Amino acid sequence: MFLNAAAALPACSSLLVARSWEEPAYPNWTREFADKILSDSPWAKPLTVPITLPPLPEVKRNSFAQIELPPGIGLPRGGGGGGGGRTGRSPDSSNPFPIPSREGSNTGVRTEMYLTIRWASALPVRQAMTILEPGSAALDKEPSDYIIEIPGFLTTMFPKGATDLEEQLSRNARLLVKGRRPVSSSHVRVPEHGMHLMATMRFPRMEGLSAKDNVLHFVAQIGTAEIDAAFKLPAMAYRGRLEL
């Protein structure tokens, strides 16, 4: 008896987690609850993705020597001294503004970007959008495709603009479920906007997909960034049905 009860605990726990997103019932949601659904929930996964940005333009060691500076004005030196007449000499440890050199290799800048992979076609996500932006999402009809939004791409990754990201996602974005054929995006849109870009992708719906398929992966290769977001399908149940 004790063993049977213990074995049932994981199933009960999973059910409680799934139900927690239905309480309180929509539309009695706070803005904080709606924001949580859009940013960190079974339908929205935050990801920290390592990337290498393109190398910065290299500068010759004597490039500053070609600039005619007014008499008595030179490049700054350490210790706050005036450094009158100093031009493009070799940098030393006391110089807080070292002059770049072609010596050595410039392989780019390693950094991170912070993305959110979000199922915009899922009912709870559409409901959350109506709380934060009334009238921004339709609730009466399920979208014919899966719609995935990814905010957070850095514009500095794409010197050629948003169309570069669109093309890469069109080539590389996939939905993967074990035992099924990969699904490619049917449409990608990335508007030009500020310092960050948001991609919106459509994917054909998978026939017969259910919680029994367990895990669905969204994957893409964008430049040096490898994106892999795993979504647990049982946790995406909402109001008695799978919502994607």
pLDDT, one tens digit per residue, over 204-219 is 999 999 999 999 999 9
> What DSSP assignment string belongs to 27-48?
TS--HHHHHHHHHSBTTEEEEE
Q: Is the peptide bond before 151 cis (omega within 30 degrees of 0)?
A: no
* Predicted local distance difference test score (pLDDT) of residue 54: 67
What pairing do the DSSP bridges indicate for beta strands 196-203 and 146-154? antiparallel
Low-confidence spans in the chain with pLDDT less than 70: 1-19, 54-107
Give the SS3 label for residue 6.
helix
* Predicted local distance difference test score (pLDDT) of residue 106: 58
Q: Which residues, listed in sequence order, are joined to residue 222 by a DSSP beta bridge?
A: 225
Tokens of 87: 């031009």
* Predicted local distance difference test score (pLDDT) of residue 224: 86
H or E segment at 228?
strand 225-232
Angle between helices 123-132 and 31-39 (to 10 degrees): 130
* Predicted local distance difference test score (pLDDT) of residue 115: 96
* Predicted local distance difference test score (pLDDT) of residue 107: 67
* Predicted local distance difference test score (pLDDT) of residue 5: 45
* Predicted local distance difference test score (pLDDT) of residue 125: 97
C-alpha span between 177 and 230 (Å, rounded): 10
